[in-house]
Amino acid sequence: MFEDVFRTHYDRYPEMQTQDLYKLTHQAALGSEHGVPNPEYVRKRLVQELAEMGKDFDEPVFEPISPDGKIVRVHLRPFIAQGGNPENLLSAFIRTAGEFSGEKETLEKYWDIVSKLTVFPQEKLEHFILPLRAKKYPAVHHSERYNTLYKPAYRVILKEFLDV
């Protein structure tokens, strides 16, 4: 159930904001479809992020974001610390973006599920989602607060595409 995915993330990231919640539902439903404008840019961005990400964060390598566990966030710090190959991760990320075709209806379903939870005010969630719905659910960045506190460094992939 997506409610379980949300609760796990909220427990791990209690300072997440509305846009971080939306980002989670977006990635869980649509994967990384927005993340690959061109493969060379994606490669450069990964190299840059690996150089700047820092250490000392308590993160799992794989963090399931879809209820079936097939779509995951691969956290770069533990992935690299455990000897993960960045090229394999890059390939899995690009392949996910190219081959996984999520549905906006799934995003709507996930948003509806988390909207009914009492963690975020219903009115605030509705106010947030309306302009995004009108734009057909574009991707968003993490909130400044989330970035500051959690320093996210991950890639969203279909786990089966990563040869570990």
pLDDT of residue 15: 96
Per DSSP, which regions of 41-86 are E strands?
62-64, 71-75
Instruction: Provide the residue-wise pLDDT of the chain in tens; the chain has 164 residues.
Output: 999 999 999 999 999 999 999 999 999 999 987 667 788 889 999 999 999 998 877 899 999 999 999 999 999 999 999 999 999 999 999 999 988 989 999 999 999 999 988 788 888 999 999 999 999 999 999 999 999 999 999 999 999 999 76
Q: d(Cα 134, Cα 121) in Å, to the nearest integer?
A: 21
Residue 118, number of CB atoms within 10 A of its CB = 6
Sort strands 62-64 and 71-75 into parallel, antiparallel or unpaired: antiparallel
Q: Residue 164's pLDDT is what?
A: 60
